[in-house]
A and B are shown apart, each in its own frame.
Chain A
């Protein structure tokens, strides 16, 4: 599986597309936080983690869209699946390579907490580092869920644009389930249930620095469910 993982990673690293997507993500993530840093008036990374799902909604499908759709279009999927590898290995290798790339793009935002640390240090105020670390763990978990969903949609089609749009639209709806907009439009009973389905709702605990096992279980089961469906989709060859 390591060979497959290396091959997937090499595609993005030997190709300008991978760099462009990662750098654009880093630019937007840094800019959207920094533009309001002095307006907010508190030394917290919470606004950054709050905007992350919206950025990931575009960034993750853009990164994942070619992953299986392109293999299907060029029929290299037949080549791959007639080598002695299982569908599970193929899907896991792709998932781990995409998670690694997302992790790299998160590293490019590490300048923010470091700058904030030095800014607050001179004001004699405190930046609570564990809260930030847990925030990053939550961000990795939400990215992992988004990657598995986008991989699934990439396995459903031969067209990268269709894969991108379908993943982005579904992620958009999952995000707005827990937004103020949904609570103002939907009946409360329904909104409460939909809210629980939203990854943003579960991310909130991590943003506050809390590792809630229910949220952890939500993200892990979300990821496993979509990876499993992707494997099933690859096994269906007709």
Chain B
């Protein structure tokens, strides 16, 4: 269970996240929407213990992600925004590095490689890969260690429609066993993948609930709520 209780995060007196309270149950797929600078990435970083809240409390399975960062990070797979990678490494080398830090056996890397379809580029340097492949490498790294929670910050940003579909299918497949929180600007993606929708604007959660059932409903709701603010 993930919990935010009245969490505020300020950067130089500016609130990036403002009094956010939420609960996420195991197995949910959360589509996290919001305009640029709304506080999506900050919320995710708070969840990872990468940032410390200015006030309020964050907990994952009753543990504080900032104080017990190492223990919490063992159960989270994270794909950061813009997918930073060690470009000078080969794909196999990079996955081995992540697996070694997460203390995961080599056999598990192979199963992730198959899941994400990276076999053909294992011996290629990451800097030589296409954007789609780079994204898959980032996703594979997040999946290593069979994390219970998967946090994906704009996983399909900048990808062509075919790669977008591939990543969407992967998220759906993985979500059967995990809690997934993903942020995106592609509203149709939320309609396809998420089981629950959260919209954040100016650091506050303005919608938290079921996604609209009608086609195009997410877009309408998003525009309505974000315009209002």
Residues on A lying within 8 angstroms of B by beta carbon are 3-4, 7, 11, 14-15, 74-76, 78-79, 81-86, 237-238
Contact = CB atoms under 8 A, between A and B. Distances in A.
A78 B84 contact: yes
B88 A3 contact: no
Contacts of B70: 84-86
Contacts of B45: 78, 237
Interface residues of B, number: 25
Given A11-B88, A76-B86, A238-B11, A83 B80 contact: no
B97 to A, nearest CB: 6
Contacts of A75: 80, 82, 84
A7 B70 CA distance: 20
A75 B11 CA distance: 19
B126 to A, nearest CB: 11
B101 A81 contact: no
Contacts of B76: 82
Given A85-B101, A238-B11, A15 B84 contact: no
A11 B90 CA distance: 12
B50 A78 contact: yes
Contacts of A74: 84, 87
Contact of A76 (B74, B85, B102): B85
Contacts of A85: 70, 101
A238 B11 CA distance: 7
Nearest to B10: A238
A84 B102 contact: yes
B84 A79 contact: yes
B170 interface: no
Contacts of A4: 101
Given A78-B80, A83-B98, 10 more contacts: A75-B80, A76-B86, A79-B80, A79-B84, A82-B76, A82-B80, A83-B102, A84-B73, A237-B45, A238-B12
Interface in B59-86: 69-71, 73-74, 76, 78, 80, 82, 84-86
24 contacts: A3-B97, A3-B101, A4-B101, A14-B88, A74-B84, A74-B87, A75-B80, A75-B82, A76-B84, A78-B50, A78-B80, A79-B84, A82-B48, A82-B50, A83-B73, A83-B98, A83-B101, A83-B102, A84-B70, A84-B74, A85-B101, A237-B45, A237-B50, A238-B11
Contacts of A3: 97, 100-101
A81 B50 contact: yes
Contacts of A11: 88
A82 B72 CA distance: 10
B186 interface: no
Contacts of B97: 3, 7
A222 to B, nearest CB: 29
Nearest to B86: A76
B136 to A, nearest CB: 15
Interface in B23-72: 45, 48, 50-51, 69-71
A85 B50 CA distance: 12
Contacts of A86: 69-70
Nearest to A84: B73
B60 to A, nearest CB: 13
A4 B73 CA distance: 17
Given A74-B84, A237-B51, A82 B101 contact: no
Nearest to B142: A82
A15 B82 contact: no
